[in-house]
Structure 1
Amino acid sequence: MCLVLTLTLGCDGAAVLPRQSIASTAGTGAQSIVSLWKSVSNPLPSSSGTVPDLTVTGNYYTTPKSPNPLLRSTGILAKRLTFLYGTPLAGGPYFPTGVLGFEKVAADVAYIEATEFPPVLAGTLLDDTQATADYSKYNDLETVADYTKLYSNECRNQLPSGPAPGAETNYTEDLFFSMERLSNSPYQVRRLNPTSDTLAFTIADNIAQNLTGRTLNQLFQAGRLFYADYRDQGELTRTDRYAAACDAYFYIDPSSAKFLPLAIRSNYGANLIYTPADDAADWILAKIVFNVNDFWFAQWNHLAATHEVVQIAYMAAIRTLSEEHPVQAMLNRLMFEVFAVQPLAQTVLFDPGAAVDLTFAYTGQAAQDYSTDYYQNKGSGRFVDNYFQTDLQRRGLINCTYGPALSHFPFYEDGTVIWNAINTFMTSFVQSYYSSDSAVDADSELQAWAKEANGPAEAIDFPTSISSRSTLIATLTHFAHLVSISHHTVNTNELLSLSSTLPFHPTALYAPLPTIKGNTSVVDFLPPFDKVLEQLTLTALFARPQFVGTNRTLMHMFDDQAMLGKMNAQTRSAASAFMSSMQAFSSQVSGRTFGSDGLSQGMPFIWQALDPNVAPFSLTT
């Protein structure tokens, strides 16, 4: 297994900014981020008025054929009059307004403030204080290897187990970089189809052949070439830091069958194209430059593709389904705290002078606009089209007919186990309440939900009708997928343990991109200590180590006794079966080690983001 490379420190070929190494001022920006987090509150006026239909009046959840149809319809009408579509907050779709809308937002924010903020803030402040006190051991961050000392007995409150095994020892390996695209950041890469795609840029045949045994075009024609494209970041409004607008090729190696990086193009400044044939310092810098773009995309796309998608579909459900409806009860469980996220994003991330302005290469307003653009225009806001397998197949990552299969795909491997368990639960749940497709079609509230989502709510690509059991199962499974598998792959605990680990994953560059190759000092592009602390603080705030082993984990997704007590026996049994399957999967994930080849799931790091006894069952923040 490759040890960390201590890379060249001299810098003759590029202008660099002076590096700050004074620890005494390091906590200023970090404290500002914590203060922003503390200031989060419901931005809408609250009301203490009583809103009808917020509690279930009967002993059991029922579909519209209930003994009290008038009471049921009155409750729905009350919600429609008091839970309204308001102006988007932090971008994306509509945000709740109206008396009930204010109440639900206020309740979600208040719950987070009372139960989640205190341990998160306390742990983050303790970690910041300890890191600052230990400044001398980091050697002024003079070398790339010094950055790994940031995690040596540090961040223990918000990252009790330390970074993902391999993250601080194997990040220089090409396989580490490429397999991140198939595990903790799987939403951009796609396979190029030789019958419908074209090559975005070229590399010399002799370079490609020396690296892969084939030319770029031969890899392309064989369905072995993959592409990731961040050129849309080239026109974003910048802070005083730096970034490129990379695109890159990856490939399935004809000899080893490994998924590896082939070339990275900066699309900025001198627009250099890097390959593994370049000097070690140049090549690792290129991968870091790509990671800056990848980090930006992953975070703002995840907001669009998970939080905002379920938020607007849930809003439509609130306005059309009775609180007596079993589907509404299930959505209430899955959408736990969902309306707290946008106020947090606006205050902590996007406002002028907030965390994005402090830590990224682009501004907070650029982040909000970028996320909204992905939600509205670039496919992230689509509901049906982004079903788990549908999305992966569309991008040529599974079931590909024009190229070889990936030998390892950790996101799909782990996600499939959880998705299958969710789907099995939802199948039992739906079939226990609906004996046939005609029974689903006859449910007026479900039909009103679909009509509302596609009408006033303006949800994107939501089912136009819910007239079969399979459609309802798929819809509910996707809700659960988005709040668990999809979200926690790129955020929550994973963010601090892998995707933001330094030195390989800075949120910005701290020197202009080189104009030529050679004589590259990688360390000059990395954050100085004050900015390190800001990055660690920001990512730590989204971790939830206090949930591990509690009823807030994915294992307990359906383990809500208040809800299950009003469900039927089949649903209670299915919830128990789901928990058992997740317990077994957690034992498998938590027990992972490196094999004799030094790899885990084909990777030089151990990926455990979707451990059901660690990852939350809901979106969190």
Structure 2
Amino acid sequence: MNSSVSAIILLLCGIFGGVWGYTIPQGPADAVRRGVAINTTRAGFLYGPAVAGGPLYPSGPLGKAKVAADIGNEQLETTPNSLLVAEDTARASSSTEQYQGLDTFEEYLLLYQGQWAKTLPKGPAPGLLTNYTQDLFFSMERLANSAFSVRRLPRSSELPFQVDYSTVSKVTGSSLSLQKLLQDGRLFYADHRAQASWPRTTNKFAAACDAYFYMSKRGQFLPLAIRTNVGSNLIYTPIDEDADWTLAKIMFNVNDFFFAQTWHLAATHEIVQIAWMAAIRTLSIEHPIYALLDRLTYQLFAIQPLAQSFLFDNGTAFDTLFPITGTGARDFVTELYFNGTGSFKEGYFETDLQKRGLINGDGPKLKHFPYYENASTIHKAIRSFMRTFVRSFYKSDRAVRGDPELQAWATEANGPAKAIDFPSKFDSVDELTDALTHIAHLVSTVHHSVNTNNLLSISATLPMHPASLYRPVPTTKGITSVAQYLPPLQAALAQFQVDGLFARPLIANSTRSLSYMFDSPTFLNGTNRETRTAAAEFKEAMFTFSKQIRSRTFNRDGLSQGAPFIWRALDPTEAPFSLTI
């Protein structure tokens, strides 16, 4: 049997069957023995060109075998889901009389009556169908389902754009200027101006908004102003006429929707992808970290070819739904990845939030922060598991430093893999724990907060979240109809259909849910008592947290976690344990 065939068999054993009794290298002789197999893998698992933008992608016979295995697993899982989407789409498409022509803004709510029951069994987020026009709804989305584009402006910042004192005072209900909000550390900002420069699709339109949000004296997080940055570059505020201000919020949502879907590819899929590739080329399949990463990266390599064929190719999702072409969107992902978004350590959970001033910021603490409140519970449980797992194999920092395969992973990631900001070496148990916790965080609490079931339940709901405008951005204020800018019926149904393909309703309450992230016989059978106990504790913690999420209701002010909607995207019994598209 030649070496390539042997390597494929070994790698597929790692993919499908696991190893009984994971170990770190036990001395020089063991390292040499394991190194022979690793070198064979390195000869067959190669770095190839990017498939859908971003970093390198697997090539060589072993790389192609692993990609094929991931695609096979992905197709097995998504086929039943796709059938549900097709069933829902057919039902919705045959109910055209129900929608009354979508001639008014409110008629878009009729798209939800008796529809999408298979793909979205629980319907949109509670509160959405009644509170969707509220300013607090719009602003709190920035702290829940779309928490990665907003930041607090440091007190020393120059203001990106001006809003006059009279307007700011009327909006805030107090004698405050924009500069005073900045000095008090209560001014926040989101910037989508970069979207103006990418190639456009036909007959679909968008602004390139940047926007201010502010913290009121009562601690509420609210919108202050939205600038379009196209055409006559209008600045809208909540004191404008209702139709103008509603359209301004929709224009921002169009930009934010595009950003979230492109950003998440760079910030989750592609960071994990390149780290896993480097690990495959440096860790023995007998290594416990190889086994852990193999679990967390389930179906990972299927995403790039799927994204290219489903999202970026000519005539596919971006071309048909969004204002920026598929080619432009793919290149935007690449630019994001190589210009900060692809940074590994800079994206650590609290590091990122602190860098953007959302926690421990230069100003008052956010009174409510649904994303952080949900994700921190899961992140804490992930870190607890990872610490136990790492300590069960490495009894000291010295043992971490002395593992040649582990150190080779860091060297490989920073060398041939060209990963960005990956640890250059692992010096301690804590440093290794941080890195593994971050990978688990990316595949769960980051990804599923902006994607998966989150799209149909809130982030892509109509009428407030179209993928595009269907008339040019206004050059003057005073519009009389918001509906004329929204997608016509067939485009609206197409948006639901595409977003439904991202959902995973069949994962709910199954072993594919986040609660079972570490509860896999294939993985656990090769570990030890401490790891198995930690996995059971993690699962129990997730079941408990799920009950808390499911029991949430509105308080007497009609709010949940400070928002006029109940956000449940990170319910661990419904979100997957690994990345999906």
TM-score band w.r.t. shorter chain:
over 0.9
> Contact 1:447–1:467 at 8 Å: present in 2 too?
no
Q: Does 1:191 align with 2:152?
A: yes
> Contact 2:7–2:41 at 8 Å: present in 1 too?
no
Which of the residues 99, 102, 113 maps onto 1:152?
Answer: 113
Size of the aligned set, in residue pairs, is 570
What is the aligned partner in structure 2 of residue 545 from structure 1? Answer: 505
1:591-602 equivalence runs, <5 A: 591-602=551-562
What is the aligned partner in structure 1 of residue 208 from structure 2? Answer: 245
1:319-334 equivalence runs, <5 A: 319-334=281-296
What is the aligned partner in structure 1 of residue 352 from structure 2? Answer: 391
Which of the residues 125, 134, 141 maps onto 2:95?
Answer: 134
SS of 1:336 mapped into structure 2:
coil
State the alpha-carbon separation in 1 of the partners of residues 5 and 491 from structure 2. Answer: 43
Q: Does 1:260 align with 2:222?
A: yes
What is the aligned partner in structure 2 of residue 289 from structure 1? Answer: 251
Q: Does 1:531 align with 2:495?
A: no
State the alpha-carbon separation in 1 of the partners of residues 426 and 411 from structure 2. Answer: 9
Which of the residues 45, 56, 76 maps onto 1:94?
Answer: 56
Q: CA deviation at 1:50?
A: 5.7
Q: Does 1:51 align with 2:8?
A: yes
Q: Does 1:275 align with 2:232?
A: no
Which of the residues 521, 528, 539 maps onto 1:561?
Answer: 521
SS of 1:190 mapped into structure 2:
strand
> Contact 2:19–2:285 at 8 Å: present in 1 too?
no
What is the aligned partner in structure 2 of residue 485 from structure 1? Answer: 445
Q: CA deviation at 1:371?
A: 0.5
State the alpha-carbon separation in 2 of the partners of residues 547 and 294 from structure 1. Answer: 27
Q: Which runs of 4+ in 1 moved over 6 A?
A: none
Q: Does 1:494 align with 2:451?
A: no
TM norm structure 2 = 0.97
Task: Provide, for residues 514-542 of structure 1, a one-character-per-residue CA deviation record: whole Å limited to 9, x for no partner.
Answer: 11111331000000001001100110001
> Contact 2:188–2:213 at 8 Å: present in 1 too?
yes
What is the aligned partner in structure 2 of residue 358 from structure 1? Answer: 320
1:184-583 equivalence runs, <5 A: 184-195=145-156, 197-212=157-172, 213=174, 214-240=176-202, 241-254=204-217, 256-377=218-339, 379-400=340-361, 402-583=362-543
State the alpha-carbon separation in 2 of the partners of residues 59 and 480 from structure 1. Answer: 23
What is the aligned partner in structure 2 of residue 120 from structure 1? Answer: 81
SS of 2:427 mapped into structure 1:
coil
Which structure dedicates a bigger proportion of its chain to helix?
2
State the alpha-carbon separation in 2 of the partners of residues 119 and 169 from structure 1. Answer: 32
Task: Provide, for residues 253-293 of structure 1, a one-character-per-residue CA deviation record: whole Å limited to 9, x for no partner.
Answer: 02x21000000000011110000010011000000000000
Q: One-letter code of the match for 1:103?
A: A
> Contact 2:283–2:405 at 8 Å: present in 1 too?
yes
Which of the residues 36, 56, 67 maps onto 1:105?
Answer: 67
What is the aligned partner in structure 2 of residue 43 from structure 1? Answer: none
Instruction: Give the direction of change, closer, same or farther, for the CA distance of 1:98–1:184 in structure 2 (3 Å limit).
Output: same
Q: One-letter code of the match for 1:552?
A: R
What is the aligned partner in structure 2 of residue 6 from structure 1? Answer: none
SS of 1:164 mapped into structure 2:
coil
After superposing the two structures, state which structure 1 stretch, 224-233 or 205-214, moved more: 205-214
State the alpha-carbon separation in 2 of the partners of residues 53 and 74 from structure 1. Answer: 12
> Contact 2:278–2:412 at 8 Å: present in 1 too?
yes
Higher relative contact order (Cα pairs below 8 Å, separated by 6+ residues): 1
Q: CA deviation at 1:70?
A: 4.1
Task: Provide, for residues 210-242 of structure 1, a one-character-per-residue CA deviation record: whole Å limited to 9, x for no partner.
Answer: 221111111011110000000001111101210
After superposing the two structures, state which structure 1 stretch, 210-219 or 388-397, moved more: 210-219
Instruction: Give the direction of change, closer, same or farther, for the CA distance of 1:238–1:391 in structure 2 (3 Å limit).
Output: same
Q: CA deviation at 1:68?
A: 4.5
> Contact 2:277–2:417 at 8 Å: present in 1 too?
yes
State the alpha-carbon separation in 2 of the partners of residues 49 and 436 from structure 1. Answer: 35
Identity of aligned residues (%): 53
State the alpha-carbon separation in 2 of the partners of residues 350 and 96 from structure 1. Answer: 19
Q: One-letter code of the match for 2:97?
A: S
Q: One-letter code of the match for 2:145?
A: N
Q: CA deviation at 1:73?
A: 1.4
What is the aligned partner in structure 2 of residue 34 from structure 1? Answer: none
State the alpha-carbon separation in 2 of the partners of residues 466 and 311 from structure 1. Answer: 19
CA RMSD of aligned residues (A): 1.2
State the alpha-carbon separation in 2 of the partners of residues 48 and 110 from structure 1. Answer: 20
TM norm structure 1 = 0.90
SS of 1:489 mapped into structure 2:
helix
> Contact 2:543–2:573 at 8 Å: present in 1 too?
yes
SS of 1:169 mapped into structure 2:
helix
State the alpha-carbon separation in 2 of the partners of residues 201 and 160 from structure 1. Answer: 43
Task: Provide, for residues 315-365 of structure 1, a one-character-per-residue CA deviation record: whole Å limited to 9, x for no partner.
Answer: 000000000000110000001110000010000000111111011011000
Gaps of 5+ in 1: 1-46
Q: CA deviation at 1:562?
A: 1.8
State the alpha-carbon separation in 2 of the partners of residues 441 and 48 from structure 1. Answer: 33
Instruction: Give the direction of change, closer, same or farther, for the CA distance of 1:450–1:281 in structure 2 (3 Å limit).
Output: same
State the alpha-carbon separation in 2 of the partners of residues 179 and 272 from structure 1. Answer: 23
> Contact 2:7–2:44 at 8 Å: present in 1 too?
no
Q: Does 1:168 align with 2:129?
A: yes
State the alpha-carbon separation in 2 of the partners of residues 616 and 491 from structure 1. Answer: 11
> Contact 1:53–1:322 at 8 Å: present in 2 too?
no
> Contact 1:410–1:601 at 8 Å: present in 2 too?
yes
> Contact 1:228–1:248 at 8 Å: present in 2 too?
yes
Q: One-letter code of the match for 1:602?
A: G
> Contact 2:7–2:40 at 8 Å: present in 1 too?
no
After superposing the two structures, state which structure 1 stretch, 447-456 or 104-113, moved more: 104-113
Q: Does 1:611 align with 2:571?
A: yes
Q: Does 1:179 align with 2:140?
A: yes
SS of 1:478 mapped into structure 2:
helix
Instruction: Give the direction of change, closer, same or farther, for the CA distance of 1:515–1:58 in structure 2 (3 Å limit).
Output: closer
SS of 1:599 mapped into structure 2:
coil
State the alpha-carbon separation in 2 of the partners of residues 235 and 280 from structure 1. Answer: 29
Q: One-letter code of the match for 2:283?
A: L
SS of 1:51 mapped into structure 2:
helix
Gaps of 5+ in 2: none
State the alpha-carbon separation in 2 of the partners of residues 492 and 271 from structure 1. Answer: 34
Task: Provide, for residues 426-474 of structure 1, a one-character-per-residue CA deviation record: whole Å limited to 9, x for no partner.
Answer: 0000111111100100000010000000000000000010121011000
State the alpha-carbon separation in 2 of the partners of residues 562 and 253 from structure 1. Answer: 51
What is the aligned partner in structure 2 of residue 17 from structure 1? Answer: none
> Contact 1:51–1:78 at 8 Å: present in 2 too?
no
SS of 1:346 mapped into structure 2:
helix
Q: One-letter code of the match for 2:386?
A: M
